[in-house]
Structure 1
């Protein structure tokens, strides 16, 4: 086995990387306090997050709950659910803000039939799965949107709606809060049409092969970091309040959303 790595890619926006690094330094200190060996000094950032998620040397990461329950179920095990301090979040859950242009006439989801949607990617809960779940009761088993634009990221979806290249997008509530707080330009010309149903927040996870001893120590360290007063300022900048212990079955909600859409004859967002 090579050197252990860690990654926290989910909210690692360019303007927050210094805060994400500071947050990792705090987590790493608590991991070392638990006696874990070879804790990485720095995060590993690569363009292909899935390569890190599948890396056998991964110690801890954050991923999306939908791929956790689908293509990554043989790779990762959820260990802690973050609790965020922002609109659309409650306890250890989050929703997606369904955003449209501020000057549009849309009043509810039914008004979006035949219009263009932007999604960040096909394996996203917040950008695709939650929205599919919301649209399924309205779609009557048919295509609902005229076009699905795959933007490549939530910020790019925000920009697509702001620029008029798409009419609607579902944006993870934490990303939406961070953009409104630190880069409000685009969000000022957008508005929230509605929110998707709540689901467990994006999990911190370990490799599926991690033994129970390691799992428990990582979980304990994360919960301690989430309550550490010395890390309160960086947690605030990241909209983070703390953690709830969890395990992978707690993310069954993601598969429930999918199966409910399928039962209504809407297996693919379209």
Structure 2
């Protein structure tokens, strides 16, 4: 039995648990064929993470996270997952990576977003959504540049999933700054806790606009009824999508083997080799 940890949490909506499990099976089997002791299943709860008595420490011995056994067992703390010393494979976001996570993990590869409007290879963008009828609908620009309807969004109430989200906050902030604006263009800002929550907040009139990454938007169109009440009015610029990561302490041989496995799966949707 493997003591290593794997997770694919970023697009793991309840309605697609079976699809995400199947994605892991493909990855797991490809890893095992290259001699990696990949775990049978992915984790979805703090309670599924192996305990780390004394807490999680960085390579210099500094405490950086508590023992997962002390966390609410039925929740999943992404940051503690990403920092876990037994992490073999998981997804994260470039927001947390830029804010310090990159010091504690290694990038293994990038997913492909070719299947989604707003995506191209390893690049993705976010759809700016408002309630249907409140602005002209917009298709993703072919050149991948930002399309921000400044006059339309000025003075609106903005909701976002989290402050460290590249797709929900940071990317839009950078695109606004490139046009001489900032998040101050909005009348107010509120945190929803997730892209799905942002869509619901806009649909219910609790907020006016949100930035939703293109894969989450595709999931919402499949499974979230509130998505039928909102429409795309703009797009952020394309940027690197969510990277696959492993612990900083994962041996180089294992990292290279995982990259080879990803390269072997590159003809299947969602997977691209790093670099």
User: What is the TM-score with the length of structure 2 in the denominator?
Assistant: 0.79
Decide whether the 8 Å contact of 1:106 with 1:112 is kept in 2. no
Alpha carbon RMSD of aligned pairs, Å? 1.9
Partner Cα separation in structure 2 for residue 58 and residue 14 of structure 1: 23
Structure with greater helix percent: 1
Call closer, same or farther: CA 1:24–1:170 in 2, change over 3 Å: same
Matches within 5 A, 1:1-270: 3-37=3-37, 39-46=38-45, 47-84=76-113, 85-105=115-135, 108-137=149-178, 140=181, 143-180=184-221, 182-183=222-223, 185-227=225-267, 240-246=269-275
What do the CA deviations read for 1:56-110 (whole angstroms, capped 9, x no partner)? 0010101111212222112221111111211000121000001111121478233
User: What is the TM-score with the length of structure 1 in the denominator?
Assistant: 0.81
Query: How far off is 1:209 after superposition?
Result: 2.0
Partner Cα separation in structure 2 for residue 69 and residue 222 of structure 1: 24
Query: How far off is 1:141 after superposition?
Result: 6.2
Decide whether the 8 Å contact of 2:157 with 2:188 is kept in 1. yes
Partner Cα separation in structure 1 for residue 27 and residue 122 of structure 2: 19
* Structure 1: tracts of 5 or more residues without a match: 233-239, 247-270
Query: How far off is 1:179 after superposition?
Result: 1.6
Partner Cα separation in structure 1 for residue 155 and residue 136 of structure 2: 12
What do the CA deviations read for 1:36-56 (whole angstroms, capped 9, x no partner)? 13x110111122111110000
Query: How far off is 1:165 after superposition?
Result: 0.6
